[in-house]
Structure 1
Amino acid sequence: MSIHLNPYLSFRGEARAALEFYHSVFGGDLILNRYDSIPGMMGDGDEGSKIMHGQLDTPDGLTIMAADMPASMADQPGTPNVGGSACIWGEDDDRIRGLWEGLSDGADIQVPFEQAPWGDTFGDLRDRFGVSWMFSLADGDGAADGASAAA
């Protein structure tokens, strides 16, 4: 069992270009999922081609994740123009749930830690210091190791 920590970068329509650039610099495996690749996900009409989740896994073990923020979230209080979150993910149920509980103390829960449409357990919170954290607990079949369908 393992646990990971990596940046999760937010963009306004530039996620594909940014991840393709990082791929050219770092090498590795790049996976891009568009909003229209998973039914029921956020994104209005013409946002289907934007990146819902992109992941670059480099040969030296680094992981960079990124997504385009849907327009429906752009004007919510506390939403950055471009920014990031720490993302903790893996299959260690006890450890990941323990970290979620610890960081939840005094936090603003953005998305409750519960089963997501793609099968993993997912949650999003802003801790008492204003840092955004995303958690993803694999559903046991390996689906949480990032995106599964290329755009």
Structure 2
Amino acid sequence: MPTRLNPYLNFNGNARQAIEFYHSVFGGELTISTYAEGGMPHAPADKDKIMHGQLISTSGYWLMAADTPPEMPFTPGNNISVSLSGDNEPELRGYWEKLSAGGNVMMPLDRAPWGDSFGMLNDKFGISWLVNIAGAGNT
């Protein structure tokens, strides 16, 4: 699988409605996982919120979306991240190391409940990055 770079949109409880709307616009394949399905510990009231929504359009566009967890700030206008994902572990870890230099690691690149390695950071310019390494082992 090639490494992909795509927008990751964050919402305040309406990610399902948003990603389903974008699906109606762009078509393609839509997958949705809630916080409960993803094994992420959150308050019972948040179990049905979207942990990860992914749309692969018929034209090959990738768009991802999630509801912002309650412990993270939601700021309209600043609710977009850049996602790097794929299965080339050395390439993606290299990007992680370079992007994190001088930045702020929000979640270390480590084994996630869904079996991949995942991390979140803000680079030294304040841009939010998500890195997901498919099927990667523990770090």
Please, what TM-score do these two structures have when normalized by structure 2? 0.91
Pairing partner for 2:122 from 119, 126, 131: 126
Q: Percent identity?
A: 45
Please list the CA deviations of residues 40-66 of structure 1 after superposition, one character each: whole Å capped at 9, or x if unmatched: x14311111111110000011111000
* Contact 1:34/1:48 (8 A) holds in 2: yes
Q: Distance in 1 between matches of 2:69 and 2:88?
A: 30
- Alignment partner, residue 28 of structure 2: 28
Q: Distance in 2 between matches of 1:42 and 1:108?
A: 23
* Contact 1:42/1:70 (8 A) holds in 2: no
User: Letter of the aligned partner of 1:10 in structure 2?
Assistant: N
- Alignment partner, residue 136 of structure 1: 132
Q: Give the C-alpha shift of residue 139 in structure 1.
A: 0.7
Q: Distance in 2 between matches of 1:94 and 1:70?
A: 29
Q: How many residues align?
A: 135
* Contact 1:122/1:135 (8 A) holds in 2: yes
- Secondary structure of the structure 1 residue equivalent to 2:36: helix
Q: Give the C-alpha shift of residue 18 in structure 1.
A: 0.4
- Secondary structure of the structure 2 residue equivalent to 1:73: coil
Q: Give the C-alpha shift of residue 93 in structure 1.
A: 1.3
User: Letter of the aligned partner of 1:47 in structure 2?
Assistant: D
Q: Distance in 1 between matches of 2:41 and 2:5?
A: 25
Q: Distance in 2 between matches of 1:61 and 1:27?
A: 10
Q: Distance in 2 between matches of 1:101 and 1:46?
A: 35
In structure 1, runs of 5+ residues without a counterpart are 141-151
Q: Structure 1 segments of 4 or more deviating over 3 A?
A: none
Please list the CA deviations of residues 20-39 of structure 1 after superposition, one character each: whole Å capped at 9, or x if unmatched: 10000000011111111133
In structure 2, runs of 5+ residues without a counterpart are none
Please, what TM-score do these two structures have when normalized by structure 1? 0.84
- Secondary structure of the structure 2 residue equivalent to 1:37: coil
RMSD: 1.4
